[in-house]
Amino acid sequence: MGNRIVRYLTGCILLSALPLQEGLAWGPAGHRIVGHIAEMNLEPQVRKTIGRNFNINHLANVANWADEIKRYENKPDVLHYTNIAANHRTYDQERDCPRRRCVTEKIKEYEGVLIDPGASRKTRKEAFKFLVHLVADIHQPMHLGNEKDRGGNEIDVYFGDKPTNLHRVWDHDLIFLDGSSQLQFARRLNRSITPEDKARWIGGTPDDWSNESRALVLDFGYRLQFSMDRELSQDYIREGRAIVEDRLRRAGIRLAEMLNRLLKP
């Protein structure tokens, strides 16, 4: 027990040294996986349009741009999450995002910018890169978590023998590559998507996606199961991994559908 306490305190010190933004988005692997899946489902002409208009050949290569620019002094005022009021299960813009800075509203905004004929190519390219990132973010259940614990960032847990927090578990640890590359993992997920899945998943709105994530975080994410002390149980990890893989699939398909719709010739 003594050694465990030492490991825990050491881990907390290391975590506290990370930038505040850390853990506020899917980890880099998650974003690249969503980009890969989306690219596999782009219409050929749309893929050509993206390359021609924005000089972007692979979505995965720009999937983490929106996180990388957070260190810039004049970064855009964009939140990668939406805080839904406590004790509420569904998103309400006036109540939950009055300044329209949250991920739910920013997706809508950047959709409009992407198809605005009056916007410069640079502005449209920036909107494109934000969409690649934010559509993934809105599918991470902890991005629709509670404000009081910063979407799980303030909830300390163990993942195996590693001290961490609940948000980082969902960002990083539940994405289990099992020796595969990110591209191989994305291909496996993509192969498992049926035509019926695609038909069910497309056609929704950012509000709908927010409500899906909200339901998952309330009905499963916050209902922690421990094997001992604060160590997440194998049942929680197993079910959490299944949820994460489903969210990565849906995000990829929905991103592809959005781009196919907005950028079709």
pLDDT digits over 126-185, tens only? 999 999 999 999 999 999 999 999 999 999 999 998 999 999 999 999 999 999 999 999
* CATH dotted code for 18-263: 1.10.575.10
Model confidence at 228, pLDDT cuts 50, 70, 90, reads confident
Model-level pTM?
Answer: 0.89
Task: Map residue 105 onto helix, strand or coil.
Answer: helix
Distance, CA of 242 to CA of 172 (rounded, Å) = 14
Phi (first) and psi of residue 131, to 5 degrees = -65, -40
The Cα–Cα gap between 222 and 89 comes to 13
pLDDT value at position 1? 41
Domain ranges of the chain: 18-263
